[in-house]
Structure 1
Amino acid sequence: MRLLLFVFAYLLPISFAISQNVIDWNPKYELQDSDFQASRHESGGNISVYAACTVGFGYQMNGYQFMFTKNFNSKVNTTFTRNASYIIAADTISRDKLLKFARAEFDLSELYARKFRQLMFEKKNAFSDPNFYQKLYEQIHVELAARNSQLSLDTNAGLADIRLKEQHEKILAEIDALADFCKECKPKKKKD
């Protein structure tokens, strides 16, 4: 019993620290400068930002459960990892612009998570193979990478703040248009 208590007491802080390192996307939360905790190696006036945003998917169910499951929204996560993210900027103005760019990237990741949820909802049927999502997941990641790259080019990685604001507003409007595909939502069934 003591050993069990010791293991629990030892693992609890580790698990708490790991959970504090990852931020789940939430429409009410905006990334803060303090969320960028990776080592910052500042060098000769270079500026850069890396927001470790991820669209993840995983489920565990038996074949019977899988056959009758259509809504996988809760199985798709958009996360930001604090200790893998950084901002390097010489001044506060540049740093603020890079932070806004990272916020747009995080929202862009959620947009593509919603697109993935929508695709799965539309493509899944009772006789789908349990690995039906793999091609869809790959497709979404290719589209997300291309759009993220274009966002970076169009806004000079956030330094063109007016263009970034326009692009970010467009991303948020697209997220709103896919409201049925939020993580907690239950999409409406199509009426034929």
Structure 2
Amino acid sequence: MKKAFIIISIIFSILPHKIFCQDTINWRPSYKLTWQDFRAKPDEASEFGALSDCSISYSFIYKDDSLSFKIASLFTRSKSWLKFRDDTILLKHEQGHFDINELFTRKLKKAFKAYSFNPVSVNKDLEAIFNKVWEEKKAFDARYDKETDHSINKAKQLEWSEMIATELNDLNEFK
């Protein structure tokens, strides 16, 4: 009994630490970025108030004529920074970048599902699909920053937040 208690105590003391120290956040609708998620040292030379390091990862396997894949929308804490930790509008703007990342993750899932499997060129084909979606995401992010003036234009920021939420909802089947 004492041995079981010690093992359980060790597991419960390590588990919260492991969860807290995790560097990568997988996008999920219930999670919103916090000040603590931005752990990198701010780039003081940058004209911007923040940087969110968002990425899309994918892996796939195929057997016979069947293709399966996993795609994830990720935020890396150790590469993301904020200069101003009291600017809630800036924090919401950075959440917008993470939400845009999820939006394009869903677009990638949709494109992969529409792909006509070819075992001879699958690697090259999926990479080309990914690169196309990634370039679209970068352009979308740039337009978001330009139109919202990096969160300074509050009316545009609200417009974009609503548009991103609508587009995410429209692609709900690809969560």
What is the TM-score of this pair, normalised by structure 1?
A: 0.74
Q: Which runs of 4+ in 1 moved over 6 A?
A: none
Query: Post-superposition shift, 1:126?
Result: 6.2
Residue 27, structure 1, aligned to residue 20, structure 2: no
Match of 2:75 in 1: 80
Q: Distance in 2 between matches of 1:96 and 1:30?
A: 12
- Which AA in structure 2 matches 1:150? R
Verify the 8 A CA contact 1:155 1:161 in the aligned structure 2. yes
Task: Please name the residue that 2:51 is paired with.
Answer: 50
Aligned twin of 2:135: 142
Shift of residue 147, structure 1, vs aligned partner: 0.5
Gaps of 5+ in 2: 1-13
- 1:106-159: per-residue Cα shift (whole Å, max 9, x none)? 000000010011011112336573212111100001100000000000001112
Q: Does 1:177 align with 2:170?
A: yes
Match of 1:167 among 148, 160, 166: 160
What does residue 7 of structure 2 align with?
none
2:151 and 2:116 map into 1 onto residues whose CA distance is 37
Partner letter of residue 63 of structure 1? Answer: K
Is 77-86 or 47-56 further displaced after alignment?
Answer: 47-56
- Listed as ranges, the gaps of 5+ residues in structure 1 are 1-11, 183-192
Question: In the alignment, does 2:131 pair up with 1:133?
Answer: no
Alpha carbon RMSD of aligned pairs, Å? Answer: 2.6
User: Partner of 1:37 in structure 2?
Assistant: 39
- Matches of 2:101 and 2:49, distance apart in 1: 19
Amino acid at match of 1:82: R
Structure 1 residue 76: deviation in Å? 0.6
Structure 2 counterpart of 1:51, which letter? S
Identity of aligned residues (%): 23
Equivalence for 1:188: none
- RCO higher in structure (CA 8 A, sep ≥6): 1
Query: Counterparts of 2:55 and 2:150 in 1: how far apart (Å)?
Result: 18
In structure 2, relative to structure 1, the CA distance for the partners of 1:105 and 1:82 (3 Å cut) is: same
Instruction: State the 1:34 CA deviation.
Output: 1.1
Higher strand share: 2
Aligned residues: 160
Cα distance, 1:63 vs. partner? Answer: 3.4
